[in-house]
């Protein structure tokens, strides 16, 4: 039996409801580029939270990536003022992913990137899920590999910088291959 192009198009549309939804879904990647400091000027890969947080639908050509203090962001932040209107870099552990996202949102953060606390993790992404508290978070929450988060934090400490400057999201399909600077410690 031969199906027409019209039939195949309708089947594809019916079987792929995700085509009708804007934004990223779990198991999709969102990329960001560190612009400063220069020693970590790479494109990094993140994944969105599975069932909470907003959709990342705004492009920022230059925005600060501010490491939270304390790093786990499970309590009041001592540098919350710097997170307002920026993106926070948080470390996994101590409380739920949703709690971290909620705290960053309360401080006026536009998004949160939660890095794995396993510093040697350079390949395994975690599905960030709700914590059954019925709380919500409107800002996007993204997961970053532990090695990547560690290297960003380490570079900031070495340079005595309070934040990195990033561009997010980066469309890697439109970036020439020679400009796709991926971290040398991470396989794509």
Contact assessment for residue 48 and residue 141, using Cβ atoms and an 8 Å cutoff = yes
As a whole-number percent, the residues of the chain with pLDDT over 90 amount to 63
pLDDT band at 60 (very low <50, low <70, confident <90, very high): very high
**What is the residue extent of each domain of the chain?**
24-179
- Is the preceding peptide bond at 70 cis, omega within 30 degrees of 0? yes
Q: Which residue in the block uniquely carries the two structure tokens 């001592």?
A: 78
User: Burial, 132: exposed, middle or buried (Cβ in 10 Å; 0-12, 13-18, 19+)?
Assistant: exposed
- Nearest to 140, CA basis, from 164, 121, 114: 114
pLDDT band at 27 (very low <50, low <70, confident <90, very high): low
For position 21, what pLDDT does the model report? 36
What string of DSSP letters covers the chain? -PPPHHHHHHHHHHH-GGGGS-S--TT--EEEEEEESGGG--EEEEEE-SSSS------EEEEEEEE-SSTT--S--TTHHHHTTSEEEEES-SS-HHHHHHHHHHTT-SEEEEE-S-TT-SS--------SS-----S-EEEE-HHHHHHHHHHHHHHT-S-EEEEEEE-GGGS-GGG----TTS--
Quote the CA–CA distance of 174 and 83 in Å, as a whole number. 30
For position 121, what pLDDT does the model report? 80
**Model confidence pLDDT, tens digit, residues 70-129:** 999 999 999 999 999 999 999 999 999 999 999 999 999 999 999 999 888 877 888 888
**Model confidence pLDDT, tens digit, residues 31-56:** 999 999 999 999 999 999 998 999 98
User: Burial, 129: exposed, middle or buried (Cβ in 10 Å; 0-12, 13-18, 19+)?
Assistant: middle
State which CATH number among 1.10.760.10, 3.50.30.30, 3.40.50.720, 1.10.1040.10 fits the domain covering 24-179.
3.50.30.30
């Amino acid at each position: 039996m031969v199906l027409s192009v019209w039939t195949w198009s309708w089947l594809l549309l019916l079987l792929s409801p995700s085509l009708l939804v804007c934004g990223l879904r779990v198991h999709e990647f969102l990329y960001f580029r560190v612009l400063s400091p220069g020693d970590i000027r790479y494109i990094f890969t993140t994944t969105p939270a599975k069932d909470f947080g907003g959709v990342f639908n705004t492009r920022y050509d230059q925005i600060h990536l501010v490491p939270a203090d304390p790093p786990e962001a499970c309590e009041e932040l001592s540098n919350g003022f710097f997170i307002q209107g920026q993106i926070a870099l948080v470390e996994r552990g101590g409380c739920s992913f949703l709690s971290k996202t909620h705290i960053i949102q309360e401080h006026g953060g536009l998004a949160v990137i939660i890095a794995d606390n396993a510093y040697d993790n350079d390949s395994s992404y975690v599905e960030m899920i709700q914590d059954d508290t019925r709380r919500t978070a409107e800002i996007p929450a993204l997961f970053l590999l532990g090695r990547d988060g560690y290297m960003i934090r380490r570079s900031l400490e070495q340079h005595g910088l309070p934040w990195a400057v990033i561009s997010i999201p980066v469309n890697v399909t439109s970036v020439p291959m020679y400009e796709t600077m991926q971290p040398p410690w991470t396989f794509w």
